[in-house]
């Protein structure tokens, strides 16, 4: 049986369900999700090996216009754009019956990269008027010579198996790069930091701007117990107070939620300690960003 192996970038504007789609395909949580745009900041690579086919998915931050005033935002856009150039296939995710100027920006980048592309119209479970779907699919299918167009619901798993079969058709022949049981190239430290950041984003929603990141200062495994020290960095004292909450209730909830997800991911008991520290201007400091792990692209 001939082996197939290829890289697939999952791209789209913010909040269309790219990370949810990757998690659904992998059958486990790898990319963090929240309703807040720009939750994903890095290229997250997840692998799925089925028989002779190894699909290496690259989940990317949402491409957006504007927001380029800070180094962090410029970095996020650069990460998303660079992923498109180095893959065998692009999976372009849009949101049910709504085509926006930001979708157009993503489409133009895909066209410029000249990479084969499958279109996924996600969140069809939210459609109240199902009859509007067919005309919309016809309309978007004409925007580019897509290999295939799939209506889907990443959240409910609707049409995802068919999408995976469609993707497999276009993966080139080649030796597998990763062990068949491996599902990501990211370190346990990175995944732990992302889970803490996800809980902050979910707990605080619009209360907190993007200027929050998480650094794992200690990750120690002993006798089926993993001890993790997570440092939460913000830019101002007011943000620190928001995260800690009244009598420390909010930081406690963030820690509990993150610990439960970590125990599932690492299949181990977790002792998680969290701190909040103010580091003014980190989100607009190129050197600070690199030291905090924002170095996916040159």
Residue 225 has pLDDT above 90, yes or no: yes
Report CA-CA distances (Å) from 267 to 17, 188, 193: 26, 12, 17
- pLDDT band of residue 183 (cuts 50, 70, 90) is confident
**For the chain, what percent of residues have pLDDT higher than 70?**
79
Residue 190 has pLDDT above 80, yes or no: yes
Q: Between 245 and 211, whose confidence is greater? A: 245
pTM across the whole model = 0.73
Helical (H) or strand (E) element with 238 = helix 237-244
What is residue 66's predicted lDDT score, i.e. its pLDDT?
52
- Answer yes or no: are the C-beta atoms of 4 and 172 closer than 8 Å: yes
CA–CA distance, 111 with 55 (Å, rounded to integer): 22
What is residue 208's predicted lDDT score, i.e. its pLDDT?
64
What is residue 236's predicted lDDT score, i.e. its pLDDT?
83
What is residue 33's predicted lDDT score, i.e. its pLDDT?
60
What is residue 152's predicted lDDT score, i.e. its pLDDT?
94
Lowest mean pLDDT among 90-99, 111-120, 184-193, 203-212: 203-212
Angle formed by the axes of helices 249-266 and 188-204, to 10°?
Answer: 140
Instruction: Tell me the per-residue pLDDT of 109-141, one tens digit each, with 9 for 90 and over.
Output: 889 888 999 999 999 988 777 788 888 999 999
φ, ψ of residue 287 to 5 degrees: the values are -70, -40
Question: What is the residue-averaged pLDDT of the chain?
Answer: 83
CA–CA distance, 252 with 287 (Å, rounded to integer): 31
Instruction: Tell me the per-residue pLDDT of 74-117, one tens digit each, with 9 for 90 and over.
Output: 655 565 566 677 789 999 999 987 899 989 988 988 898 889 99
Q: Between 149 and 43, whose confidence is greater? A: 149
CA–CA distance, 231 with 274 (Å, rounded to integer): 6
Instruction: Tell me the per-residue pLDDT of 235-282, one tens digit each, with 9 for 90 and over.
Output: 888 888 988 999 999 999 999 999 999 998 888 999 999 999 888 765
Matching residue, tokens 């732990």: 192
What is residue 297's predicted lDDT score, i.e. its pLDDT?
45
**Topology annotation, domain 4-169:** Rossmann fold (3.40.50)
What is residue 273's predicted lDDT score, i.e. its pLDDT?
96
CATH top-level class of 188-291: alpha beta
Domain ranges of the chain: 4-169, 188-291
138-148 average pLDDT score: 93
Matching residue, tokens 């089926």: 224
The answer for residues whose C-beta is within 8 angstroms of residue 49's C-beta and 6 or more apart is 55, 176, 178, 180, 181
């Amino acid at each position: 049986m001939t082996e197939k192996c290829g890289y697939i970038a999952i791209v789209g504007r913010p909040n269309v369900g790219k990370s949810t789609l990757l998690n659904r395909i992998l059958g486990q949580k790898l990319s963090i999700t929240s309703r807040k745009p720009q939750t994903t900041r890095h290229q997250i690579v997840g692998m799925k090996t089925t028989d002779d086919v190894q699909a290496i998915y690259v989940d990317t931050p949402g491409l957006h216009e504007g927001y380029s005033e800070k180094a962090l935002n410029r970095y996020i856009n650069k990460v998303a754009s660079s992923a498109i150039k180095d893959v065998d296939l692009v999976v372009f995710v849009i949101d049910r019956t709504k085509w926006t100027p930001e979708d157009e920006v993503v489409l133009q980048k895909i066209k410029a990269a000249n990479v084969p592309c499958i279109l996924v119209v996600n969140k069809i479970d939210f459609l109240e008027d199902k009859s509007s779907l067919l005309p919309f699919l016809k309309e978007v299918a004409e925007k580019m010579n897509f290999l295939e167009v799939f209506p889907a619901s990443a959240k409910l798993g609707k049409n995802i198996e068919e999408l995976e079969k469609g993707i497999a058709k276009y993966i080139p022949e080649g030796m597998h790069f990763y062990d068949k049981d491996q599902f990501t190239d990211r370190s346990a430290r990175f995944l732990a930091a992302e889970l803490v950041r996800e809980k902050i984003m979910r707990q605080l929603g619009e209360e907190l701007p993007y200027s929050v990141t998480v650094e794992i200062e200690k990750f120690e495994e002993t006798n089926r117990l993993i001890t993790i020290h997570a440092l939460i960095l913000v830019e101002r004292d007011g943000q620190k107070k928001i995260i800690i909450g009244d009598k420390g209730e909010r930081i406690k909830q963030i820690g509990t939620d993150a610990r439960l997800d970590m125990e599932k991911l690492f299949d181990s008991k977790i002792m998680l300690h969290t701190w909040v520290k103010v580091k003014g201007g980190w989100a607009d400091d190129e050197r600070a960003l690199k030291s905090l792990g924002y170095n996916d692209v040159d």
